[in-house]
Amino acid sequence: MSDTFYITTPIYYVNGTPHIGHAYTTIAADVVAEYMRMTGRPVRFLTGTDEHGQKVLEAAAKRGMTPKAHCDDMVVRWKAMMERLQIRYDRFIRTTDADHESVVTAVLQKLWDADEIYKATYTGWYSTSAERFWTEKDLVDGKCPDTGQPVTEITETNYFFRMGKYGEQLMAHIEANPDCIQPSSRRNEVLGFLRKGLGDLCISRPKSRMSWGIEMPFDPDYVTYVWFDALLNYMTGTGYHPESPAEGWDSWWPASAHLIGKDILTTHAVYWTTMLMAMGQPLPQTIYAHGWWIAGDGQKMSKSLGNTIEVDLLVECFGLDATRYFFLREIAFGADGTFSYEGFLSRYNVDLANDLGNLAHRGLSMTTKWLGGTVPPSSAPTDAEVALQALAASTVQTFDASMKGLQFHKALVAVSDLVGAGNKYVDAQEPWSLNREGKTERLQTVKRHVLELCYLAATLLLPVMPNKAAELLSKLGRTPDDARDSLRALLASGGSSALDGLVEGTAVTVGDPLFPRFREMPEPIAALFAAPEEEAPAEPQLSKRQLKKLKRQKKKAPPAPPERIEYADFAKVALKVGRVLEAEAHPDASKLLVLKVDVGEESPRQIVAGIRARFEPGDLIGRSVVVVANLAPAMLRGVESQGMLLAAGGTEVLDLVSVDAPPGEVVR
C-alpha cells in the first residue's frame, strides 16, 4: 500500500478567463495537498491547462499567431492566477508539453493495437459553430439547435473507442466502491447515466476540419479528440508512459483524488474511467465533483472585468488568507453555495477577527503585560485544563479525518469550536483576577494554555491560511516547520500531546491584530454597490451555468440585419394594426401564447408568439398591436401561426409595439 497522495484539478481551458470556479477548485486542491505534505506523506499536486481544439485554433488565427504561440501567451494568465492564490502545485502541465503528447500518442497506439479503437463511417449534420454533429431530428429548421448557424451533411470516417463494452464493468465498480465518486448524489447520477446504456466514443477529428491536436499515430489525417487528450494528463503527471515510464510513476497511480466541477462529471466518471479500464490501469480512488458559487440577491459586479473581479477584489480587500478560508469554510464541499459580500464580511469578522484573532491578541497581550512577554510554564492542571486538553485532542482527530475526506468545512468548524472553547476558558479563568490577586502560578498555567491553544489553531490552519498562520506562529515564537513537526507528533500520539508545543521562556510578540475588524464594507466593494445605475448598468453576478446560458442566448439571437435596405425591400412587409381578441397558453410549449388577433379581415388571425415569459394571456386581451400580415404561415409546435407581432427587446421580449389606431389600419 502506497502512502503517497496524488491530487489533481481539471486542466483549465487555456482560452478561458480564470474565475471564481477555477479559484475554488484549485484552492481546495492546494489546501488538501499542503495538509498531506504536513502530515508527512509524499504528495504530488497537478494542475495545468488544456490547449488543443477548435476554439484555440480560431483564436490563434484571429490574432495571426500559431496555436502554440497563442497558448504560450494565454497560459500566463493561468499561472498568474495560481501565483495570486499561492498555489503550491508540483507540476503545471500543459497538453502541448512534449511528454504529454508522447503519452497520448503511445496510449492511442497501444489501444489501437489491442483493438480497443476501431474505425467507422457515419453520416450526420455537422455544425461548425457548435463543433459537433446532430441527428436529423435535432435540427431546428435545418439549422444548428445550439447556435442557429447552418449545418452541413457530412459523411465522415472517424475512430471510436470501444467505451460501450465497459458499461457493466463500470457500474459494478461504482457499486463496489462507494467512495469512487463523491458526493454520493453524483455517484447516483453517474449510475443513472450508465443504466441508460453506454455507447462508444468518437475520439478523433479529421484534420481537414480541425487540425490543432495530437495526431493519431496510426492515421496522419486525424487528430485526437480534445477530451481524450486532456484526460490523459492525469497519467502524464505521474511519469507514466506505455513504453518508457519514469521510475516510480506507479507510486503515484491510482490518483488519490480528482477534484472537478460538477459540469465535467461524466467525462471523468465515465470517459476517463473506461479509458483506464482499456489501458489496464487501476481506477482513481475518488472523483470529487464540487458545486458552484451562486451569486446571492442584489449582487453586482463590474461589467468589463468579468467574473475575475470577485476573487481579486476579495483578495485585495480582505487578503488572500481570508479568501481561501472563506471558500472552504462557508459551504460544504460538494454543495452549491450562495455568495454575497455581506456574507463574506460577516464570516471574516466573526470567525477571524472576533474569535481567532481576538483570542490570540488577548492571550498575547496579557502575557506581555503581566508575564514578561515569554511563554510561561504550566503547572498543576485543573479540570478546566484537562477538559481543554481533551477537546484539543479530539479537534485534531476531527480535523484530520475531515481533511482526508475533503470535508474542509467540517475541519474548519472544528477549529472554530476549539477557538470558541479558548475564549470561554479565558472568561471562566479570569486571568485578570489572577493577576490582581497575585496568583502568578495559576496565571502562568492559564496563559500557557491559551497560547498553546493558539499554537494548535495556527498549526491546523497552516495549509488553509499559510501567511496568517505563519504570522501567528511567529508571534508565538515558532515557525511553520515547528508546526509541521507538531502536527506529525500529534497524529502519531492520537492528539494526546496537544497543547504542549511551545517552548517555555520563548519571547512572544503582540503586534497588530491578525485580522483587523471591518466596521463596514471595504471601499472598493462598497463602490460596486454605490455606482449609479445609469453610468454602470449593474449586472447580476452570474454563475458559470448562467454565463453559459447567456452565451448561448447571445449566439441564438437573430443575426443583425443588413446595414441598409432599399425602400422596395421594406415595402414587401405588410404591417397592420391588430387588436387582440383572445389569448391563451400554447398547449405544448411553455414560452408560447396563442392569440386571436383582429386585423380588419373577415376573420381574426391566429398568431403564435413567444412572449409568455413577459405576458400572461389576460394581459393582452383588447390590446392593440402591430402585425406582420403577409408573413408565410408556420406551424409552431403543432399550432399554426398566421403572422407575427412586433415586439421590443433583443433576446428577451420587453414589450409589444402598440399603436392608437383601429384594427386593419396599415402601418408604414
* Among the listed residues 288, 301, 302, 303, the one whose alpha carbon sits nearest the alpha carbon of residue 339: 301
AA letter at 657: V
Do 614 and 654 touch, CB atoms closer than 8 A?
A: yes
Judged by CB under 7 A, the residue of 521, 644, 657, 667 near RNA is: 644
Q: How far is the CB of 40 from RNA (least distance, A)?
A: 30
What are the DSSP calls for 240-277, one per residue? --SSSPPTTGGGT-S-SEEEEEGGGHHIIIIIIHHHHH
How far is Cα 604 from Cα 653, in angstroms, rounded to an integer? 24
Judged by CB under 7 A, the chain residues 90 through 109 that form the site for RNA are: none
The answer to whether 322 touches 492, Cβ cutoff 8 Å, is no
Residues 279-318 that bind RNA (CB under 7 A): 294, 296
- Compute the chain's Rg from CA coordinates: 31
Using CB under 7 A as the binding rule, whether residue 337 contacts RNA is answered as: yes
The grid coordinates of residue 607 equal 398568431
Q: How far is the C-alpha of 198 from the C-alpha of 167, rounded, in Å?
A: 6
Cis peptide before 183 (omega within 30 of 0): yes
Q: Which of 86, 109, 267, 358 binds RNA (CB under 7 A)?
A: 358
Q: How far is the CB of 282 from RNA (least distance, A)?
A: 27
Residues 433-492 that bind RNA (CB under 7 A): 433
Q: How far is the CB of 130 from RNA (least distance, A)?
A: 10
The window from 55-63, 224-232, 251-259, 338-346 that contacts RNA (CB under 7 A) reads: 338-346
617 near RNA (CB under 7 A): no
Which helix (H) or strand (E) segment holds residue 92: the answer is strand 91-94
State the DSSP string of 143-176.
Answer: B-TTT--B-EEEEEEEEEE--GGGHHHHHHHHHH
Least Å from the CB of residue 593 to RNA:
9
CA–CA gap between residue 508 and residue 458 (Å, rounded): 15
Report d(CA 469, CA 587) in Å as an integer: 62
Per CB under 7 A, does 554 bind RNA? no
Which of 278, 411, 592, 599: binder of RNA (CB under 7 A)?
592
Task: Give the x/- contact pattern for RNA in 188-207, rule: CB under 7 A.
Answer: xx--x---------------
Nearer to RNA, 277 or 371 (CB): 371
Encode burial over 592-610: b for 16+ CB neighbours within 10 A, e otherwise. bbbbbbbbeeeebbbbbbb
Among 27, 60, 314, 608, binds RNA (CB under 7 A): 608
The C-alpha cell at 29 is 486542491
Decide if 46 contacts 259 (C-beta within 8 A).
no
- Does 622 bind RNA (CB under 7 A)? Our answer is no
CB of 423 to RNA, least distance (A): 3
Contacts with RNA in 139-158 (CB under 7 A)?
A: 140-141, 145-146
Q: Which of 80, 637, 654, 655 binds RNA (CB under 7 A)?
A: 637
Question: Using CB under 7 A as the criterion, what x/- string covers residues 361-390 for binding RNA?
Answer: xx--xx--x---------------------
Q: 335, 401, 492, 573: which one contacts RNA (CB under 7 A)?
A: 335
C-beta of 54: minimal distance to RNA in Å? Answer: 19
* Binder of RNA out of 87, 108, 174, 331 (CB under 7 A): 331
321/315 Cα distance (integer angstroms):
8
Please, what is the minimum distance in Å from the beta carbon of residue 442 to RNA? 15
**Residue with Cβ nearer RNA (180 or 322):** 322
- Nearest residue (CB) to RNA, 179 versus 243: 179
What stretch of H or E contains 460? helix 440-461
The answer to the question of residue 355 lying near RNA (CB under 7 A) is yes
**Contact with RNA (CB under 7 A) among 41, 68, 556, 623:** 556
Which one of 424, 527, 530, 658 is in contact with RNA (CB under 7 A)?
424
Which C-beta is closer to RNA: that of 492 or that of 557?
557
- Using DSSP's 3-state secondary structure scheme, residue 477 falls into coil
Which residue in the set 106, 384, 631, 659 belongs to the binding site for RNA (CB under 7 A)? 631
Confirm or reject binding of residue 241 to RNA (CB under 7 A).
no
